[in-house]
Each structure stands twice: as C-alpha cells, then as structure tokens.
Amino acid sequence: MMNFILVSAFVSALLFSYQILKFLIGKQTPIMRLTRYTNLMEMVGGEEKRRSKQKEYKVGLGFISRGVKEAKSLDGYKKKIQLELQRAHILLKPEEYITVSIILFFAFGTFMFVLASSSSLAILVAIVGGVIGWVLPSLYIKIKIKKRLRILNDQLNDAIVLISNSLKAGYSFFQAVDIVSKEMTGPMAEEFAQLQKEVNFGTTTEKALENLVTRVTSDDLELVVTAVLIQRQVGGNLSEVLDNISTTIRERIRIKGEVKTVTAQGRMSGMIIAALPPALGFILFLINKSHVMVLFTDPIGLIILGFSVFMEIIGIYFISRIVSIEV
C-alpha cells in the first residue's frame, strides 16, 4: 500500500512538473521577450497582465527560480545554460531550466528509491535515478541543438545564393539579410532576423556577426561571417566571394555524403556492439531472472558488470573515432 502511495506521488510530481514547464514555455513568447525594449504592454493595459503573470509564476514554483537567480555561485553555469538554450531556440531562462532539472532530480530519485526500497543499494539507486532526471533536460537540449544545426546547414547554401544575388541586384548586405529573414523559413530565417534585430538595437555589425557565430556553431557559417568581416575591412566583391564559398560548401556536402556511405558499415557495427549486450541481458533476465540478478547482488558480479560496462564504453568510443572523419 505504501509503495502504491509513493508511486502515485511520483506520477503526480511528474504531472505537476509538466504543467510548470508548459507554463514557463508558454509565457516566454517572442513578444514577451521584446517587451523589455518597448512599452507595448503599458500601452494596452499590460501592467495588470504583468502582475497576473507574476502571481501565477509565484504559484508555479517561481520562488525556486528566483532563488536560483539570486545564487551568485551559479552565474558561470547559468551563462553556459543560457547559451545552450539560445542554440536550441528554447525560450526559457536559465533559472527556469535549472528549476525543471531540480524537480526531475527529486522526482526520479524518489521513484527509483521506491522501486529499490527492498534492496541494500536503495540509496545508490536513488542517486542514479536523480542523476538521470537531472541529465534528461540536457540531453533534450543537445538533441534540439543537433537537429537545428543540421537544418541550418542544409539551408545555408540557399541563403548564401540569395544574399549573393541580392548584392548583385544592388542591395546592401543588411538589405540582403532582411530578404533572407523574410523569404526563408526555419532556423536560418530566425537567426538572420535575430542578427538584424541586434543591429537595429545598436549592436555593432562586427559584434552582431560574432554573436551569430557563437549561437550557431557551424563551420560553414563561420566561413561566411569571416568573409563578410574581411570584406568590410579591406573591401572587395562580396558577391563573388560568396559564390566561391557556396561552391566550396556544395563540394563539402558531396564529400560528406560519400564519407557517410563508406563508413556506414562501421557505424552499423558500433550500433550493434552498443545494443547487443543490453539486449542479451534483457533476454536472459526474461529466461532466468535469478541467474542474471547475481550480477547485481553479488560483489563479484557487480565488479564484472562494471568492467563490462567500461569495456563497452571503450569499444564504442574507438569505433566512433574511427568512423568520424572530418571534412
């Protein structure tokens, strides 16, 4: 009965965390981000709405976020988180992200402690569960960044061609940037729109371009920005330079495709090596549970299991290094 109550409490905590995360993301719209630069809310009676939002935020565990915000020892970590959130295009504040991580840490830790309450390693299992809950938001952000970067790299060549053609038609560079932000969609349009906004708000062109490269960790985009900065300093035909860069990027994409084809067998071997031991362990657990549980209850079994996991990680690392070819 007690286990049922604890599991119910865990599910309730997860649902509560989901509602908090939904509220935090919902309130961070682009218009809300721009209100610090404009008086739009005050013009439409936004003061009352702002107070209402603050009240709801306080109810939604906003006091944890404020506590994290006031913690000066976390300033370096919060700056790192803020940059990651910008790269993933997730409209959350660093303290809000840390609040969600803390909630998931305690929720998963409690749940794992309940599952292993009959074992002598319950505390260790609870710590592992808490670490998993803490790491989950970070993994989600990394997946979002990787997906966004892949889409942006696919769009980059079209954006370069569009800028080059605009320059040939007599437009200035930032007029060409405005065309890209309006004519294209997805991450490329969003990043170039952000670039234009920074310049409009008084940021120097060089600093805005550096911020763009910092937000988007793309080698191809960095090459484009470097060409633009050099052209602004020494002059030259920027459209011709961009055409050459576009040709280089197309050739690089072609070579990457060939490398991906050649290394397909090695990558498949790595995935099989990574998935085979857990799959066999699960099958043996279904066939003979007591035979497999020896690995988790006997000290020698734990040593063997730890050594096996270590060797598995080493094998995956070396295979990934072999099939990872920089172009």
For residue 9, pLDDT over 80 is answered with: no
For residue 298, pLDDT over 50 is answered with: yes
Residue 67 vs residue 104, higher pLDDT: 104
Confidence of residue 206 (pLDDT cuts 50, 70, 90): confident
For 133-177, what is each residue's pLDDT tens digit? 888 888 889 998 889 888 888 888 888 888 888 888 888 888 888
Res 319: pLDDT: 83
For residue 43, pLDDT over 50 is answered with: no
For residue 237, pLDDT over 50 is answered with: yes
- Cα–Cα distance between 33 and 179 in angstroms, integer? 23
Domain at 149-261: CATH architecture? Up-down Bundle (1.20)
| Extents of the domains making up the chain | 2-115, 149-261, 263-323
Residue 39 vs residue 64, higher pLDDT: 64
Confidence of residue 36 (pLDDT cuts 50, 70, 90): very low
**Dihedral angle computed from the Cα positions of residues 164, 184, 195 and 214, in that order, rounded to the nearest 10 degrees:** -90
Res 72: pLDDT: 65
C-alpha closest to that of 127 among 141, 143, 116, 140: 116
Residue 231 vs residue 46, higher pLDDT: 231
Tell me if the pTM is above 0.85.
Answer: no
For 246-276, what is each residue's pLDDT tens digit? 888 888 888 888 888 888 888 888 888 888 8
Average pLDDT over the chain, rounded to an integer: 77
Average pLDDT over residues 288-306: 81
Confidence of residue 185 (pLDDT cuts 50, 70, 90): confident
Res 308: pLDDT: 86
For 111-127, what is each residue's pLDDT tens digit? 878 776 766 667 887 88
Res 51: pLDDT: 55
Residue 107 vs residue 325, higher pLDDT: 107
Res 87: pLDDT: 85
Most confident of 29-43, 62-76, 176-190, 292-306: 176-190
Average pLDDT over residues 184-193: 86
Confidence of residue 245 (pLDDT cuts 50, 70, 90): confident
For residue 287, pLDDT over 50 is answered with: yes
